[in-house]
Amino acid sequence: MDIRSLSAAQSYAFARPATQPEPDHNGMAQGMRLTFQDFATTLKHSEHMAEASMVGQADPHALVQALAQTELAVETAVIVRNKVVEAYQEILRMPV
């Protein structure tokens, strides 16, 4: 057997595990799921506070605080979305 083919076979065998999914990626998916659930919870809380404020059952300070949290959550989501779109466009511009 030629030494170059042996070296190539060893390099391939070494690199092969890098192409297989790692069990750690499931933790990343779980983290993203929790992030989206927190975002939805923040929006629902703000809606409930606004409804309660309309009928006079909520403190105006709590309403302003809930709206500020919602504004921050939406701004963060927009920034993340813009970064994802920018990265996707950058990938599309890459030469093949």
Enter the pTM of the model: 0.63
Question: Residue 75 falls within a domain, yes or no?
Answer: yes
- If one counts the domains in the chain, the total is 1
Question: Residue 1 falls within a domain, yes or no?
Answer: no
Exposed e or buried b per residue across 70-81, where buried means at least 16 C-beta atoms within 10 angstroms of its C-beta: beebeeeeeeee
Q: 44-96: per-residue pLDDT in tens?
A: 999 999 999 999 898 889 999 999 999 999 999 999 999 999 999 999 999 87
- Map tokens 């994802």 to a residue: 84
Question: Residue 4 falls within a domain, yes or no?
Answer: no
**Cβ pair 48, 62 in contact under 8 A:** no
Question: Residue 16 falls within a domain, yes or no?
Answer: no
Question: Residue 2 falls within a domain, yes or no?
Answer: no
Is residue 8 classed as helix, strand or coil in its secondary structure?
helix
- Give the Cα separation of 34 and 25 in Å (integer): 14
CA dihedral of residues 45, 48, 50, 52 (deg, nearest 10)? -140
Structural domain span for residue 30: 25-93
Question: Residue 9 falls within a domain, yes or no?
Answer: no
> What's the CA angle centered on 56, arms 51 and 66, to 5 degrees?
50
Question: Residue 54 falls within a domain, yes or no?
Answer: yes
- Give the Cα separation of 94 and 41 in Å (integer): 38
Q: 16-55: per-residue pLDDT in tens?
A: 665 565 665 567 778 888 888 999 999 999 999 999 999 9
Question: Residue 12 falls within a domain, yes or no?
Answer: no
